[in-house]
Structure 1
Amino acid sequence: MGQDVRRGGGLTTGEVARRLGVAPTTIRTWDHRYGLGPDDRAGGTHRRWTVTDVARLERMCALTATGLPPAEAARVARGDVAQARAGSARPGRPARPAGGLRLGDARQECKGVARAALRLDAAALDALLQAAMEKHGLVAAWTEVIMPTLQAVGRKWETSGDRYVEVEHFLSWHVSGALRRGAPPAAAGRPRATTLLACVPGENHTLPLEVLAAALAERGLPVRMFGAALPAESLVAAVRRTGPAVVGLWAQSRSTASRPLAQHVAAMEWGVRGARGKPVVLTLGPGWAGRTVPDLPRPPGLAEAVAAVESAVSR
């Protein structure tokens, strides 16, 4: 079948879905809603996805996994792939300025943040991050300024043979500090109103959870943040002790995303007989792609995660 597909000029939708770890219906939705379908729509109903088509979808997956709203992610994905193709089509003309970061159509503030990070200028970077959060609010600052800059640094690292690793670490550290400085004091825990956030065992990527914790605190919602690689038994103990309305479990990679753990937490109950409660468990992060847990929501981005928490707490 693979040979037939290659002779037919690309991959089928099902093969692309398996390669990306998403459902075929997701790919069809991205096609119909955001125009991320194959460039060549000829050849009847059996579409074939080329290398360029799949690159757009891979970019879409990466962007939505880090919190960018789907419509904005699709716009950036289309632009990035088109820019890459245009650059490769012009011999002798680089796709982006030498030494700079490719930031696409992100806000102008990204360029200042990127320059400060490249210079390892701590004072300037802190000032720019604070200004972005004050100007746009935390959710918009993350999705439109901070995250695109982090992604640009990551791309620079990937294409530069492990150079710029120090820039990524430097930027991440200062973003984490800016989130903590800008967040209001922790709200007092209320019965069945607290949100518990933790990385699953073996997972050490905490920055997206720190952003969510800060966004919830900004809205006056009580949060208990447990950070990286919380052991399963400790997670269960924390849930029992706090009786949270919501438990957010972050998994950056599929190897750490544990369906049994998520299902076990979702089944936990507490309270007096006749009025027992259960938490709403949110599976957060790209590690859950292709490992969706039935009946457990998987918000695609920061704004959706905040809305899911607010909805659960209000109930």
Structure 2
Amino acid sequence: MEALLRRTAEAHGLVTAWEEARVPALRAVGRKWESADDRYVEVEHLLSWHVSTALRRTAVTAPGASARAAPVVLARLRGEQHTLPPEALAAGLVERGLPTRTFGAAVPAEALRAAVGRSGPTAAVLWSQSRRTADGVLARQVASTAFGPSGARTVPVVLLAGPGWSARSVTAGMRRPRGLREALDAISALHA
């Protein structure tokens, strides 16, 4: 499985491999599991593990990020268990030479705001798989978190990533990318 995942990404690139092979395979396995009364759950977990491993391997072996570029903060919101889409974004950013600060599951709101205030990211990506985990109040707070000395302060662009966000969640200083390619392009444009 690892070799197949690696060959697919090498042949077609990370984004195409994600959008046209990995996501469809994960969805198919998920549908099989849902329709089989929890049978095949081990297949979904096995596939997820190997996809995660392949994404992290890409992030480690990609060319180094520019030391002068401001980082991109990637966070999964409180209660959020899904990891693969943010991992795909992190791998894609590293592949493009952009530094990331990726947080694990359910980073507390205060810790996220503090990290944004200390690191001065160009963008903060907030991942939410479901409406239950989307936190518009936190998104607005992150979007208004300033970095830098008085007179030269910056605030990050907040990307509301994942299907948990509604269109009405987007306010000033925020974007809602529809997929991996759109998120990578939007963040890359901020660093151009």
TM surpasses 0.5: yes
Is 1:187 matched up with 2:65?
A: yes
What are the within-5 Å matches in structure 2 for residues 18-167 of structure 1?
125-167=1-43
1:189/1:228 Cα in 2 relative to 1: closer, same or farther (>3 Å)?
farther
Structure with higher Rg: it is 1
The TM-score, its normalising length taken from structure 1, stands at 0.58
What are the within-5 Å matches in structure 2 for residues 205-220 of structure 1?
205-220=82-97
Residue matched to 2:154? 277
Superposed displacement of residue 185, structure 1:
5.5
Q: Give 4+ residue runs of structure 1 displaced > 3 Å after superposition.
A: none
Tell whether the 8 Å contact from 1:186 to 1:223 is kept in structure 2 after alignment. Answer: no
Q: Distance in 2 between matches of 1:186 and 1:196?
A: 17
Tell whether the 8 Å contact from 1:200 to 1:249 is kept in structure 2 after alignment. Answer: yes
Match of 1:203 among 55, 59, 80: 80
What are the within-5 Å matches in structure 2 for residues 181-260 of structure 1?
181-183=57-59, 184=62, 186-190=64-68, 193-260=70-137
Q: Deviations over 1:4-48 (max 9, x none)?
A: xxxxxxxxxxxxxxxxxxxxxxxxxxxxxxxxxxxxxxxxxxxxx
The TM-score, its normalising length taken from structure 2, stands at 0.94
Superposed displacement of residue 268, structure 1:
1.1
Residue matched to 2:182? 304
Could you say which structure has the greater relative contact order, defined with CA pairs below 8 angstroms and 6 or more residues apart? 2
Superposed displacement of residue 257, structure 1:
0.4
Q: Secondary structure at the match of 1:287?
A: coil
Q: Which structure carries more strand by proportion?
A: 2
Is 1:175 matched up with 2:51?
A: yes
Q: Percent identity?
A: 57
Q: Deviations over 1:258-300 (max 9, x none)?
A: 1110000101112222221110000000110355222321000
The number of residues matched between the two structures is 189
Tell whether the 8 Å contact from 1:257 to 1:291 is kept in structure 2 after alignment. Answer: no
Show structure 1 runs of 5+ residues with no match.
1-124
Q: Deviations over 1:156-192 (max 9, x none)?
A: 111111111000010000001011112226525435x
Superposed displacement of residue 204, structure 1:
1.6
Q: Distance in 2 between matches of 1:233 and 1:197?
A: 15
Q: Deviations over 1:206-233 (max 9, x none)?
A: 1100000000100111111112111101
Tell whether the 8 Å contact from 1:190 to 1:222 is kept in structure 2 after alignment. Answer: no
Show structure 2 runs of 5+ residues with no match.
none
